[in-house]
Amino acid sequence: MSGSWSSNVSDQYQWIQVDLGKLHEVHGVITQGRNEYIAPDGLIWDQWVTSYEILYSVDGNHFQPTKNSNCQVTNFVGNSDHDTMVTNILSDPVYAQFVRVHPTDWYSHISLRFEVLGCSADKMAEHSTYYKSLNFHRSITTQNSTGSCIRCAVKCMRAPECKYFKCDGGCHLYTCSKEDNVVAFQFGSYIPFN
């Protein structure tokens, strides 16, 4: 077929994903519609995705949707023609090896081309996000063993409402979690707190 991924059926359960090969810091997605497709009967098919969600995963099994600052799943505005590229930048970058595009609305049929924006996560930025583990309730992950970071980890572990924290010289606790049910990607190694 011509010009893009095109789902077999058009319903709310379709998605396409890419395996980036290793962990990346993902910043956004660029989408396009299906470039002009002329069917065997001579009809021109207009097909593109008008809105979509982005889900991401570290292991390819557990996917989380990207969310906005109000903890609502982000529904991105997609395309309105065949070929115009539409770029959507995430409000906060995510760490992922797998990125999934889930169309939520479309014109004529679910068809799209997409590109993921980001960079390798081999080198961690100085200002890092650390997540509370939901599977190991007495452990937390930290990138290093600086006193302020350890104190922040302890504070987060002891506060049931703390979902994740940032340690960038200070300690910032957050109650709004982008990671609903699974352990987020964590840098460093587990440090037990008894």
Closest CA to 46 of 56, 59, 32, 66: 32
The string of pLDDT tens digits covering residues 137-181 is 334 444 444 556 667 767 776 776 776 666 656 677 777 655 443
- The pLDDT, as a whole number, for residue 148 is 62
Full-model pTM: 0.66
All structural domains of the chain: 5-120 (2.60.120.260), 128-192 (no CATH)
Q: Kindly write down the DSSP assignment for every residue of 13-69, as one continuous string.
A: T--EEEEEEEEEEEEEEEEE----EE-TTSPEEP-EEEEEEEEEESSSSS-EE-B-T
- The pLDDT, as a whole number, for residue 31 is 97
The string of pLDDT tens digits covering residues 81-139 is 999 999 999 988 888 889 999 999 999 999 999 999 998 866 544 445 555 544 433 34
